[in-house]
Protein backbone atom coordinates (compact mmCIF):
# COMPACT_ATOMS: atom_id res chain seq x y z
CA UNK A 1 0.00 0.00 0.00
CA UNK A 2 1.23 3.49 -0.81
CA UNK A 3 1.95 5.79 2.12
CA UNK A 4 -0.56 8.38 3.24
CA UNK A 5 0.74 11.86 2.42
CA UNK A 6 -0.07 14.95 4.47
CA UNK A 7 1.22 18.34 3.31
CA UNK A 8 2.32 20.99 5.77
CA UNK A 9 3.55 24.46 4.84
CA UNK A 10 6.19 25.79 7.23
CA UNK A 11 4.94 28.99 8.86
CA UNK A 12 6.73 31.52 11.03
CA UNK A 13 5.30 30.10 14.25
CA UNK A 14 6.96 26.74 13.47
CA UNK A 15 10.43 28.29 13.61
CA UNK A 16 12.88 28.63 16.47
CA UNK A 17 15.40 31.42 17.11
CA UNK A 18 17.72 29.90 14.50
CA UNK A 19 15.14 30.28 11.71
CA UNK A 20 14.38 26.60 11.16
CA UNK A 21 11.61 24.28 12.31
CA UNK A 22 12.02 23.46 15.98
CA UNK A 23 12.57 19.77 16.76
CA UNK A 24 9.40 19.62 18.88
CA UNK A 25 7.33 20.93 15.97
CA UNK A 26 8.42 17.95 13.89
CA UNK A 27 6.70 15.73 16.47
CA UNK A 28 3.49 17.70 15.84
CA UNK A 29 3.92 17.31 12.07
CA UNK A 30 4.36 13.55 12.52
CA UNK A 31 1.24 13.41 14.70
CA UNK A 32 -0.76 15.28 12.07
CA UNK A 33 0.37 12.70 9.52
CA UNK A 34 -0.66 9.80 11.80
CA UNK A 35 -4.09 11.29 12.40
CA UNK A 36 -4.67 11.68 8.66
CA UNK A 37 -3.43 8.12 8.08
CA UNK A 38 -5.70 6.56 10.71
CA UNK A 39 -8.76 8.74 10.13
CA UNK A 40 -8.66 7.95 6.43
CA UNK A 41 -8.75 4.22 7.01
CA UNK A 42 -10.34 3.38 10.39
CA UNK A 43 -13.50 4.26 12.27
CA UNK A 44 -12.01 5.70 15.46
CA UNK A 45 -15.42 6.75 16.79
CA UNK A 46 -16.57 3.14 16.73
CA UNK A 47 -13.39 2.04 18.49
CA UNK A 48 -13.96 4.68 21.19
CA UNK A 49 -17.49 3.37 21.74
CA UNK A 50 -16.00 -0.10 22.20
CA UNK A 51 -13.47 1.21 24.75
CA UNK A 52 -10.45 0.88 22.47
CA UNK A 53 -7.78 3.58 22.49
CA UNK A 54 -4.70 4.19 20.36
CA UNK A 55 -1.53 5.04 22.32
CA UNK A 56 1.99 5.95 21.22
CA UNK A 57 4.61 4.29 23.43
CA UNK A 58 7.88 5.12 21.64
CA UNK A 59 9.19 7.44 18.93
CA UNK A 60 12.63 7.05 17.34
CA UNK A 61 13.34 10.11 15.23
CA UNK A 62 16.28 11.11 13.05
CA UNK A 63 16.69 14.72 12.01
CA UNK A 64 18.43 14.89 8.61
CA UNK A 65 17.95 18.37 7.17
CA UNK A 66 16.50 21.66 8.43
CA UNK A 67 13.13 22.88 7.20
CA UNK A 68 12.75 26.60 6.63
CA UNK A 69 10.01 29.20 6.35
CA UNK A 70 7.88 28.62 3.27
CA UNK A 71 8.98 25.03 2.68
CA UNK A 72 6.17 22.64 1.85
CA UNK A 73 6.69 19.33 3.59
CA UNK A 74 5.15 15.96 2.87
CA UNK A 75 4.59 13.72 5.86
CA UNK A 76 4.60 10.20 4.42
CA UNK A 77 3.04 7.67 6.78
CA UNK A 78 2.79 3.90 6.46
CA UNK A 79 2.47 0.85 8.67
CA UNK A 80 5.78 -1.02 8.72
CA UNK A 81 5.16 -3.76 11.30
CA UNK A 82 2.30 -5.33 13.21
CA UNK A 83 3.06 -7.60 16.16
CA UNK A 84 1.02 -9.41 18.81
CA UNK A 85 0.55 -6.37 21.05
CA UNK A 86 2.17 -3.46 19.23
CA UNK A 87 2.85 -2.06 15.80
CA UNK A 88 5.26 0.35 14.16
CA UNK A 89 4.30 3.21 11.90
CA UNK A 90 7.13 4.54 9.74
CA UNK A 91 7.08 8.19 8.81
CA UNK A 92 9.28 10.32 6.58
CA UNK A 93 9.05 14.07 6.25
CA UNK A 94 10.40 15.18 2.88
CA UNK A 95 10.65 18.45 1.01
CA UNK A 96 7.85 18.44 -1.53
CA UNK A 97 9.07 18.37 -5.08
CA UNK A 98 12.59 17.25 -4.20
CA UNK A 99 11.97 14.15 -2.09
CA UNK A 100 14.88 15.20 0.15
CA UNK A 101 14.55 13.57 3.56
CA UNK A 102 14.14 16.05 6.43
CA UNK A 103 13.06 13.68 9.22
CA UNK A 104 12.61 9.92 9.51
CA UNK A 105 10.77 8.30 12.40
CA UNK A 106 9.56 4.94 13.63
CA UNK A 107 6.58 5.24 15.96
CA UNK A 108 5.57 2.29 18.15
CA UNK A 109 1.93 2.09 19.22
CA UNK A 110 -0.34 -0.14 21.26
CA UNK A 111 -4.09 -0.39 21.44
CA UNK A 112 -5.42 0.20 24.95
CA UNK A 113 -8.51 -0.99 26.79
CA UNK A 114 -9.79 2.37 28.04
CA UNK A 115 -11.55 0.77 31.03
CA UNK A 116 -8.34 -0.78 32.41
CA UNK A 117 -5.79 1.46 30.67
CA UNK A 118 -3.83 -1.67 29.73
CA UNK A 119 -2.54 -2.72 26.31
CA UNK A 120 -4.73 -5.07 24.29
CA UNK A 121 -3.56 -7.87 22.00
CA UNK A 122 -3.84 -6.99 18.31
CA UNK A 123 -6.33 -9.68 17.33
CA UNK A 124 -9.62 -10.04 15.48
CA UNK A 125 -11.05 -7.02 13.69
CA UNK A 126 -8.41 -4.73 15.23
CA UNK A 127 -5.62 -6.75 13.63
CA UNK A 128 -7.55 -6.97 10.36
CA UNK A 129 -7.90 -3.19 10.27
CA UNK A 130 -4.13 -2.77 10.56
CA UNK A 131 -3.30 -5.60 8.16
CA UNK A 132 -5.24 -3.81 5.42
CA UNK A 133 -2.80 -0.90 5.85
CA UNK A 134 0.39 -2.98 5.57
What 8-state DSSP symbol labels residue 2? P
Q: Are strands 86-95 and 72-82 parallel, antiparallel or unpaired?
A: antiparallel
Active site (annotated) includes residue 125: no
Helices and strands, number each (H, E), in the chain: 3, 6
Distance from chain centroid for Cα 16: 22
**In degrees rounded to 5, what are phi and psi of residue 17?**
-65, -15
| Options 16, 43, 113, 125, the catalytic residue | 16
How many Å apart are CA 106 and CA 59, to the nearest integer?
6
3-class DSSP state of 70:
coil
Distance from chain centroid for Cα 59: 10
Catalytic positions are: 16
Amino acid sequence: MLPSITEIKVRGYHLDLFGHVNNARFLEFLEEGRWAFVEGTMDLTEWQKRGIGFSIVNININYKKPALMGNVLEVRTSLSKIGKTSGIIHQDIVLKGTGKLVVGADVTFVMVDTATNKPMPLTGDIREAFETLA
